[in-house]
Chain A
């Protein structure tokens, strides 16, 4: 066993670090971490800027084949990239475009579809959103009811989607709709892609408890989509969603983001006196910071293990491990946010924007955002169930 990166990987990592170190200095004054940093009015222009920069360097889609702008980067290199960009909390990688629809098209799209849609993603010219969840289809996604009815060579889509991250910025959308009403679950679904400018598509923001608006609802009102925008087969959409199994899903970027937050918190404790005492000298605080550091190291190791399993092609083990990493990293994020605000005492209640806010109010904000991390992309409960079934072979309840 050898935990070291190869010299080549080390060099690559340094290249990434130097780039982000330099570029993040261009972040606007009131830019913040997380999804708001990608999609709000301050974040979006910077996100696009970074996306274009990454595209220029040929780093946006490194795992993709060369003909589509990538360099067939192996899984471990993907991990290293995610690790570094996560540490810098940097925007630029469209999670739905680069992270989901790109790989989906590579795995299941036709040549025509690949040629039409992959290059704009690789060049950071086109951004995507995902239209999957519905008000009554969250964890039980396969039960969704947005309907697509054939009309000539087109399909007419009607329905409502929700939790659509960045839909208000997106150019295109990939969605699931029911094309066979006889089948109530996955077997009746088709995977469509569509231009957000298509008539009948409207986007309404969902406001988070902290006031953020990166989530949306999408309403489809007689939206006409051509057949050539179907990925895979009609009624074969559910299978297409399963191709996400092969994407990088180690949560390493989440872990390194937590590390970044911890480092800022430690610095704050070194510089701050509260209730008459220097924070960094308080043994209790030291223990809490140390515990987070331990948890981060453990998470980091877990994430690299996930990547390793994926690279080796051990699908089942990787599936269970990545569910574990997802649960672990998101719960760690919430713990970190709360440790931060608790250490800050009363200052932990000051919201961002106030001159009295600590660390730009990011921890106060994260404490309200992190609950969502344990829900989006598969709730912690569902993740634990998958670990039990797939990882441990425990019996599924009927």
Chain B
């Protein structure tokens, strides 16, 4: 057993923290949130220079060839600092299917671009039924000659408005096991027949509705094999869940740090509020939530990184962190008093992100059910 990060990972963390606090302070976060694009092209370029977009892209495609634990380190810092951007969408949702199963031509073409910060991607998976299981996929892809024609609606597609390409999860067969009928396509966002509309969400994370109206894509756009796409989605969701969990843990840590600092400095009735036991116990519980969340995340991520069977463990972590971040954020506001409810205070930035993270890639109920199944119940 070794529960420490490596020296390299510690260095990665420190440099990520420095970079983010310099390039994306909270004023910048708010600026980006209020802007049209929802991200800063300049910061996007700089993270590419650091190699972040290519972190898990193999070296042969100009990536860093690093692993999931390294990705976790970066995402924890992103969650702690906050970086509104299509980073998770590109690195944890769009790129992994291509790395996993894209045809060689596609990999050679797009992966270096992603690594260089020249391509923004996302995954178009969920639909108005808002579920992550294969039976929730209704968008059709019909083979027509050398092409496939896509028809249907995707909903809650993160940063589709910024993406050059989308990995689209479509149904190519009907009847039988829903998991056997799914095909993944790499689709150019500018394709004829695509309509993208972002809508306002709690996390100001450019969630979009994407309508596909007779969108024609060449056969070469297929990722992996026809009808065999679902396992790729599952693998991708593992990576995305680790990334999201790391963001959540980073965010929780930020809330804890902020709340403890405030409790030490805010004086009412002649003493710091952090000297009142009610506040102390609330913060002790917050600490317990942050600590337990990180530990279970690290274990789950390590298992995933080692290629171990970890569905139940990842679900364990998401179920736990969902409830933990929700309460951490709630108590974080409570410790700060009224200012914690305002837009100008940083607490609100994390509170909203805790809310947004809850159903993303499965809510508590979904993940507890995965655990229940793993127990043979």
Contacts and interface: CB of A to CB of B under 8 A. Distances in A.
Interface of A: 133, 136, 138-140, 143, 162-163, 206-211, 215, 273-276, 284, 334, 338, 341-342, 345-356, 364, 367-369, 371-372, 374-376, 379-381, 384-385
Nearest to B369: A284
Contact of A341 (B156, B278, B342, B355): B355
A209 B201 contact: no
Contact of B199 (A136, A163, A275, A355): A355
Contacts of A136: 267
B262 to A, nearest CB: 12
Given A207-B344, A379-B337, A275 B130 contact: yes
B341 A372 contact: yes
A206 B355 contact: no
Given A356-B155, A371-B330, A371-B334, A209 B343 contact: yes
A381 B279 contact: yes
B202 A351 contact: yes
21 contacts: A138-B268, A138-B338, A163-B338, A208-B341, A208-B342, A215-B342, A275-B136, A276-B129, A276-B133, A276-B136, A345-B131, A345-B359, A346-B360, A350-B201, A350-B202, A356-B155, A364-B202, A367-B202, A371-B330, A376-B338, A380-B334
Contact of A351 (B126, B133, B200, B347): B200
Contacts of B126: 346
A354 B363 contact: no
B230 interface: no
Contacts of B155: 346, 356
A354 B155 CA distance: 13
Interface string B339-357: 0111111011001100110
A375 B348 contact: no
A207 B351 contact: no
- Chain A binding site: helix, strand, loop or mixed by DSSP? mixed
Given A347-B130, A356-B199, A371 B359 contact: no
Interface of B: 126, 129-131, 133, 135-136, 155-156, 199-203, 207, 209, 267-269, 276, 278-279, 326, 330, 333-334, 337-338, 340-345, 347-348, 351-352, 355-356, 358-360, 363-365
A384 B276 CA distance: 13
A92 to B, nearest CB: 25
B26 to A, nearest CB: 13
Contacts of A140: 268-269
Nearest to B276: A381
A21 B336 CA distance: 39
A-B pairs, 10 with minimum CB distance: A209-B348, A275-B131, A140-B268, A351-B200, A354-B199, A207-B343, A371-B333, A346-B130, A372-B341, A349-B202
Nearest to B336: A375
